[in-house]
Amino acid sequence: MTQPHRSSLPIPDVAIADEFWSPRRATVRAKTIPHQEDRLREGGQFAALRFEWRPDPDDDRERFPIFWESDVAKWIEAASYALASESDPKLDAAVDEAVALLAGAQQEDGYLNAYFTAIKPEGRFTDLRDAHELYCAGHLIEAGVAHFQATGKTSLLDVVRRYADLIDREFGPGGSCEGGYCGHQEIELALVKLFRATGERRYLDLSLRLIDNRGKAPFYFDEEARRRGTPGYFGGQGAVVRSDKRSREYNQSHAPVREQTEAVGHSVRAMYQYAAMADLALELGDAGLREACERLWRDLVDTKLYITGGIGADPSIEGFGPAFHLPDKDGYAETCAAIGLVFWAHRMMLLTGESTYVDVLERALYNGVLSGASADGTKYFYGNPLASDGSVERSDWFDCACCPPNLARLLTSLEEYVYVADEAGPTVNLYVAGWARFEYGGKRVLLNQESAYPWDGDVRITVEPEAALRVPLRLRLPEWTSAEPSVTVNGAAVPFAVDRGYAVVDRTWEPGDRVALSLPMHPVAVRADARVGAAHGKVALQKGPIVHCVEEVDNEAPVPHLVIGRGGEPVAEHRDGLDRITVAGLVDEPADGGLYRTGSTPVRPTEIRTVPYFAWANRGKGTMAVWVRETP
CB 205 within 8 A of CB 198: no
Per CB under 6 A, does 380 bind ligand FUB?
Answer: no
Report the alpha-carbon distance of residue 502 to residue 490 in Å, rounded: 20
- Binding residue (CB under 6 A) for ligand FUB from 131, 140, 263, 268: 268
- Residue 271 in contact with Zn ion, rule: CB under 5 A: no
**Residue 402 makes contact with ligand FUB by CB under 6 A:** yes
Would you say 184 or 543 has its CB closer to ligand FUB?
A: 184
Q: Which is nearer to Zn ion, 409 or 629 (CB)?
A: 409
Closest distance between Zn ion and the C-beta of residue 372, in Å? 9
| Calpha distance 250→266 (Å, rounded) | 5
Q: Least distance to ligand FUB from the beta carbon of 351, Å?
A: 23
Give the DSSP H or E segment for 504. Answer: strand 502-509
How many residues bind ligand FUB (CB under 6 A)? The answer is 8
Q: Which of 402, 551, 552, 630 is catalytic?
A: 402
- Say which entry of Zn ion, ligand FUB, none residue 184 contacts (CB below 5 to 8 A, set by partner kind): ligand FUB
Considering the complex, state which of residue 18 and residue 142 has its C-beta at the smaller distance from ligand FUB: 142
Please confirm, yes or no, whether 42 is among the known catalytic residues: no
Residue among 25, 29, 184, 209 that touches ligand FUB (CB under 6 A): 184
Q: Is 295 exposed, middle or buried (0-12, 13-18, 19+ CB in 10 A)?
A: middle
CB of 402 to ligand FUB, least distance (A): 4
Query: Contact region for Zn ion (CB under 5 A) — 42-50, 246-254, 318-326, 397-405?
Result: 397-405
Residue 16 in the binding site for ligand FUB (CB under 6 A): no
Estimate the share of the chain in helix, then strand, then coil, as percent rounded to the nearest 5: 40, 20, 40
- Tell me how far CA of residue 560 lies from CA of 167, 313, 376, 388, in angstroms: 53, 21, 28, 10
Q: Tell which one of 40, 167, 338, 402 touches Zn ion (CB under 5 A).
A: 402
Q: Within 66-105, which residues bind ligand FUB (CB under 6 A)?
A: 67
Q: By beta-carbon distance, which residue lies closest to ligand FUB? A: 268
* Annotated catalytic residue within 224, 283, 318, 551: 318
* Residue 202 identity (one-letter amino acid): R
**Which residues are CB-neighbours of 220 under 8 A, at least 6 positions away?**
128, 179, 180, 181, 213, 253
Q: Any catalytic annotation for residue 402?
A: yes
Cβ-based nearer residue to Zn ion, 11 or 407 = 407
SS3 labels along 133-186? HHHHHHHHHHHHHHHHHHHCCCHHHHHHHHHHHHHHHHHCCCCCCCCCCCCCCC
> Rounded to an integer, what distance in angstroms lies between the CA atom of residue 413 and that of residue 426?
19
Assess contact for 420 and 349: CB atoms under 8 A: yes
Figure out which of the listed residues 278, 336, 407, 421 binds ligand FUB, where binding follows CB under 6 A. 336
**127 binds ligand FUB, rule: CB under 6 A:** no
Task: Tell me if 249 contacts ligand FUB by CB under 6 A.
Answer: no
Residue 334 binds ligand FUB (CB under 6 A): yes
Among 400, 497, 498, 530, binds ligand FUB (CB under 6 A): 400
The answer to the question of residue 139 lying near ligand FUB (CB under 6 A) is no
Phi, psi of 623 (to 5 degrees): -70, 155
| Among 119-127, 210-218, 401-409, 600-608, the segment contacting Zn ion (CB under 5 A) | 401-409
Contact region for Zn ion (CB under 5 A) — 344-352, 354-362, 403-411, 556-564? 403-411
Residue 318, binding choice from ligand FUB, Zn ion, none, Cβ under 5 to 8 Å by partner class? ligand FUB
Shortest distance in whole angstroms from residue 317 CB to ligand FUB: 10
Choose between 91 and 336: whose C-beta lies nearer to ligand FUB: 336
Which residues, at least 6 apart from 327, have a Cβ–Cβ distance to it below 8 Å? 313, 321, 533, 534
Q: Is 142 in the site for ligand FUB (CB under 6 A)?
A: no
- The DSSP H or E segment spanning 508 is strand 502-509
Of the candidate residues 403, 534, 550, 559, the single one contacting Zn ion (CB under 5 A): 403
Among 565, 600, 599, 598, which residue's Cα sits nearest to residue 583? 565
CB 539 within 8 A of CB 632: no
CB 475, min distance to ligand FUB, A: 35
Taking CB within 5 to 8 Å according to partner kind, which of ligand FUB, Zn ion, none is near residue 68?
Answer: none
Give the residue from 112, 92, 94 showing the smallest Cα distance to 104.
Answer: 112
336 binds Zn ion (CB under 5 A): yes
Residue 318 binds ligand FUB (CB under 6 A) = yes
What gap in Å lies between CA 616 and CA 624, rounded to an integer?
8
How deeply is 199 buried, as exposed, middle or buried, from its count of CB atoms within 10 A (0-12, 13-18, 19+)?
exposed
Give the H or E element holding residue 425.
Answer: strand 425-428
Buried b (16+ CB within 10 A) or exposed e, 162-197: bbbbbbbbbbeeeeebeebbbbbbbbbbbbbbbbbb
**Residue number with CB closer to ligand FUB (119 or 524):** 119
Binding site for ligand FUB (CB under 6 A): 67, 184, 268, 318, 334, 336, 400, 402
Catalytically active residues are 318, 402
